[in-house]
Amino acid sequence: MCAPRRYPDASTDGARSTSATGDSCWPTCSRLLAAWPRVGSRHHPCWRSPWSASPTCLGCDELTTIRPAVGQRVVRPGVARLLAAVADGGRDAFYEGEFGAALLALGQGEYTADDLARPNADWVDALGIDVWGARLWTVPPNSQGYLSLAAARIAELVTEGQAFPDPEDGAWAHLLVEASRLAGHDRPAVLHEGADGAALLAPERLAAAAANFDPQARSGFAAPGRGGGTIYLCAVDADGMGVSLIQSNAEGFGSHVAVPGTGVLLHNRGIGFSLESGHPAEYGPAAGHHIRSHLR
């Protein structure tokens, strides 16, 4: 969805950013979406059908009843219908309309009407850190954006007093990979709705992580990341107004559950929860997620 945001410059203090869909970008979004119902209701060439291997995907009738060969034409009427509703009536037409009703029925109590009716966008203070003479900004938890800042600072710490590796040198890739690993190895334990972003970027915490860097070998820490994929685009005008558009199923094809009759797959972007009783990220609507500020 669209998220408008003024991007702070390096000297700005107290920058603020939005962490979800904002109403002020709606006129632009509505114009963009108005064309999609026509596009989605037409025939389009198929590259390949990923659902041929998952014929039992719950609610995926629109995707599985027809098994097109490469080059054959497919139609997505459910998606086209929902995009038309969004273009006409915004988020309410989506979450409180056909899609919302079908999702509530599918969830069998997992979701409530109030869950869908209540926007969860928050205006939050941006999280910043000084690295390499510049001020870097990101969205605070429950976003994992702090990892980009932490990894940058760790990379700076371990290269203090020496030349930064050339990108053509294998040491460059090793540095960035290991800095990211050291920054994020404990993400599942520390990232949750109430996490303190400033504490996660505390100098002593990052210095301790940097102390584990070995220029000749990988650290003993495991990276928490798994395979996934995201489609993203953004545009920023001369006045600093940005529109950020993201399409992400998180891992593979998300949850492998579709809302019946809509052709819409449910993602598993909220995968950063814990089943441990009492854990700060215990399963629920406030678990951490993997989106970062440059993907918002």
Burial class (CB in 10 A: 0-12, 13-18, 19+), 38: exposed
Of residues 148, 247, 147, 239, the one with CA closest to residue 191 = 147
Residue 169 DSSP class = S
Q: Tell me the β-bridge partners of 229.
A: 250
The Cα–Cα gap between 159 and 182 comes to 15
Please provide residue 199's backbone torsions phi and psi, each rounded to the nearest 5 degrees: -65, -35
Quick one: tokens of 107? 């969830």
> Between the CA atoms of 174, 129, 141 and 289, what dihedral angle is there, to the nearest 10 degrees?
-30
Write down the H helix ranges in 96-145.
98-107, 113-117
The Cα–Cα gap between 56 and 73 comes to 22
Q: Map residue 21 onto helix, strand or coil.
A: coil
Q: Tell me the β-bridge partners of 244.
A: 3, 234
Of residues 87, 85, 106, the one with CA closest to residue 96 = 85
In which residue are the tokens 């009407």 written? 113
Beta strand spans in 181-255 (E) = 229-236, 241-250
Other CB atoms within 10 Å distance of the CB of residue 10: 11
Q: Which residues are catalytic?
A: 230
Name residue 228's amino acid.
G
